[in-house]
Amino acid sequence: MNATVPRVPRRLLVTLHLGEVPDDMPAWRATTRYGVAPAERIDGGIVDRLLHRHGGDFRCARVHSARLPRSTAVPGARRFDDVEQLSGVGRVLRIEVQQDDGLADLLQALQQVPTVEAALCEHLSFAPLDAQNFGSLAQAQAAREYDAQEAWQARELIRLPQALGYTQGDPAVIVGLVDTGVMAQHLALPEAAVRRGFDTVDLDPASVGGLGLVGDSRQRDEDPGDDVGHGTGCAGILRADGLELPPGAAGQCSLLPVRVLAAAMSGERRVGVGSIANIDAGMKRLVDLGVKVINMSFGTAEGQLPPGGALPHLEVVRYALARGVILVAASGNSGLAERYFPAAHDGVIAVGAVNARGEPSRFSTRGDHVALCAPGEGIWTCGLDGAGAGLQRANGTSFAAPFVSAACALLAARANARAWPLNSHDARTLLAASCQPHRRADTTGCGAGVLDVWAALRALEASMDDEEDAGDGDPVKAP
């Protein structure tokens, strides 16, 4: 059994049922940007009494900001629409209590209250996905000279050159990258490809389990700069310029980074660490900004979650899916059959890793929820070393997921060209039906096979042709 992940002291995330959140409850962003005071009451009844009994004084605010402005003189006031309310993102409260000793009892009590839909102790999430076990061989980045032939192997395995010869993608299709940020000035990343992005991290050093935070961590801002290299590595797979590295797998599709994970030191190693509220707030804002695909190369194993609480990221996953966003997540690097979240949520395309021969990587987390695998060993991509010109040789499902996110972006671009809707379920169906078979017998829990981008694009075209010929309104079916 893996150890429980560190939780954020004195902090709960509570989702109330429809109609139970006071209209004047501020968003957390309004309390930090506009100076609006956090609320010190919720219902004036049982929820408030339980919070005072087990946690002392408290303050709270909504985790998420609404999409639409509200006609009011209050700075930053906004209103939530039906999708925000029904998915739950408009009803998630971030509650900070004065005392931490009774948090477990408080959580258990809140879960019995009829007006409470879900409650969990806020905990930390890491990138790489095994970061709490610091030093995993699965995440080792070998120090060696750049090997162009090896760099192309992963792209050729998934027939990416053929796919990019067929479609170059569309800058109007935006891939959201939820990670440690991106070094936008990297010489291998085209300046026009990476949009400005933003940062939702607001961690206190006392909240990260003794890890030493590095760089910006205390305040949300509009600078998604990367102090770890994990997000920059994912960005290189998606949008490298084709000069220093093979061309990005997403073609001409745009990249919008959000820094939800701060940099922390463990020995000599930098890792990404972030709170659930920071991560979810970043994802919600990406959806509201119009991204079509979100890449999530982070997660927490189910066995590591604090006991008794709800599953993390559920409301924001529901919200993204309701808005038609395609969600892709790394399955995990434990090498076990288990569920990581957000990868295991319904509607998310969970991605495992294979080596250059198409064989499942020994570190790749398995399970019935895994949709397919993509290259995740010896992946050459952007790194932070070398004054903006550094490269790294990366391993892990973290770096397999961007290949699938890129494939989804290319599919969305082709679908857009024919005014055809494409959602996460459709994309998963197409990708799974067009996979190459696994090249080793022991592939239980590794999904339908190995990503084949070219075959997926042809399957999409065939599906659109069939539906148009049939005159049927059902958009995409398995070929």
pLDDT tens digits, 141-171 = 444 688 889 999 999 999 999 999 999 999 9
382 forms bridges with which residues in the sheet?
391
How many other C-beta atoms are found inside a 10 Å radius of the C-beta of residue 245? 22
Tell me which DSSP letter residue 221 carries: B
Nearest to 296 by CA among 127, 450, 77, 453: 127
Distance between CA atoms of residues 78 and 122, nearest Å: 25
Q: What is the pLDDT along the chain (479 residues), one digit of tens a residue?
A: 457 788 888 999 999 999 999 988 999 988 988 889 999 999 999 999 999 999 999 999 999 999 876 655 555 556 899 999 999 999 999 999 999 899 989 999 999 999 999 999 999 998 887 644 434 433 444 446 888 899 999 999 999 999 999 999 999 999 999 999 999 889 999 988 999 999 999 888 877 766 788 876 666 677 888 999 999 999 999 999 988 899 999 999 999 999 999 998 877 788 899 999 999 999 999 999 999 999 999 999 999 887 777 899 999 999 999 999 999 999 999 999 999 999 999 999 999 999 999 999 999 999 999 999 999 999 999 999 766 778 999 999 999 999 999 999 999 999 999 999 999 999 999 999 999 999 877 899 999 999 999 999 999 999 999 887 776 555 555 54
Indicate whether this model's pTM tops 0.85. yes
Residue 372's region, left for phi above 0, alpha for psi from -120 to 50, else beta, is beta
Distance between CA atoms of residues 125 and 129, nearest Å: 8
Residue 5 exposure: Cα atoms within 13 Å on the Cβ side: 29
pLDDT tens column, 326-362? 999 999 999 999 999 999 999 999 999 999 999 999 9
Structural tokens at position 366: 């398995």
Structural tokens at position 137: 């061989």
Q: Which residue's structure tokens are 């019935």?
A: 368
